[in-house]
Amino acid sequence: MAGIKLDTLTKSYGDTQVLHHIDAEIEDGEFVVIVGPSGCGKSTLLRMVAGLESVTSGNVHIGDKRVNDLEPADRDIAMVFQNYALYPHMSVRDNMAYGLKIRKLSKAEIDRRVNEAAEILEIGQYLDRKPRQLSGGQRQRVAMGRAIVRDPQVFLFDEPLSNLDAKLRVQMRLEIRKLQKRLGVTSIFVTHDQVEAMTLGDRLMVLNGGYVEQFGTPIELYERPASIFVAGFIGSPSMNFLSGAANAGQVTLSNGTTIATGSTASGEVLLGVRPEHLKPEENGPFKMTIEMLEHLGGVTLLHGVLDGTDTQIVASLNGITDHQVGDQVSFAAKQSHLHLFDAKSEKRIEE
């Protein structure tokens, strides 16, 4: 078992730099999710760890070994691809055994490992089928099995769930999580889905435009997002941002309302508050007229515009409420649920 260390890692294609000085230490047995919008460089980062992309500068360490110049096969990793990349002409058994055959393991050892992995993943009865005879979820398991039999130090997942339907995705997500805990193998998982990221990861690395926006536990990211990007990316529906001016412990919104924040910051700010933290309260500072209602059963989403501004805000209330379109509602939020961001740098202003 081994941890992974990324040391000022950069990647450029010609003059275009796609990853900027990535530093991270991933501990042994940890499950790290790299999350970000498409084109943020998350897959590239994973592929650099895998050895499928060259490193422009910086270092990748797996365990105590610097692996920059090692072939993927020599890095002691296993990777699960988005489209599974199973060899279509080989049976499930051969797919799983192929890497072991190349490593010249004994027949008995190969059989033992394949059967063990098949048992863990409950794909024992499919071992002699071809990949095309399997459903998406089963193929996904075979791809996982191929990773497990190698008994690697690191698992790398490149959006492995995005080809599955929604229900199966939730199920496989839980299984991957359980499996990783059981095997205790250090894992990196790339996804663009923030729910997947929040539920799977011990820690999340949020990437945006090749920069690490924040690297921390899901709760940290939710409670103390380091930037507007992270705040907007984590959580659903995403956070409301209201522009205003901060001065002496309070923020004056553009419609004149003042809200106490307890922050000593001053100047142009964005005030962030999550939809689920807005509670209806008479004379509350956030007044809006409802333009649209979404009843999701468990929660009701109220969409509207903050009075006196043209800022869209969303509030999420528990249960089914009897609000009507056109109603005027006032909300308040606890001071601890307010987030302040610098309007220019878009970074969090610490209290």
* CB of residue 48 to other proteins, shortest distance in Å: 13
Q: Which span (76-84, 122-130, 235-243, 295-303) binds other proteins, by CB under 8 A?
A: 76-84
Does 73 bind other proteins (CB under 8 A)? Our answer is yes
Size of the site for other proteins (CB under 8 A): 23
List the one residue from 33, 77, 197, 251 that touches other proteins (CB under 8 A). Answer: 77
Residue ranges of the alpha helices (H) in 225-315?
A: 228-233
- DSSP readout, 176-225? HHHHHHHHT-EEEEEES-HHHHHHH-SEEEEEETTEEEEEE-HHHHHHS-
**Would you say 60 and 47 are in contact if contact means Cβ atoms under 8 Å apart?**
no
> Binding to other proteins by residue 72, rule CB under 8 A?
yes
For other proteins, the closer CB: 152 or 216:
152
CA dihedral 349, 225, 302, 278 (to 10 degrees): -60
Whole-angstrom CA distances from 142 to 145, 185, 187, 221 are: 5, 18, 18, 33
**Binding segment for other proteins among 6-14, 46-54, 171-179, 206-214 (CB under 8 A)?**
46-54
Are residues 162 and 195 in contact, defined by beta-carbon separation less than 8 angstroms? no
Among 70, 81, 120, 203, binds other proteins (CB under 8 A): 81
Residue span binding other proteins (CB under 8 A) among the ranges 16-24, 96-104, 235-243, 259-267: 96-104
> 32 is written with which tokens?
């790290």
C-alpha to C-alpha distances, 241 to 203, 290, 341, 346, nearest whole angstrom: 25, 17, 9, 11
Give the x-and-dash track for 142-181 against other proteins (CB under 8 A): ----------------------------------------
Residues near other proteins (CB under 8 A) are 50-52, 71-74, 77-79, 81-83, 85-90, 98-99, 102-103
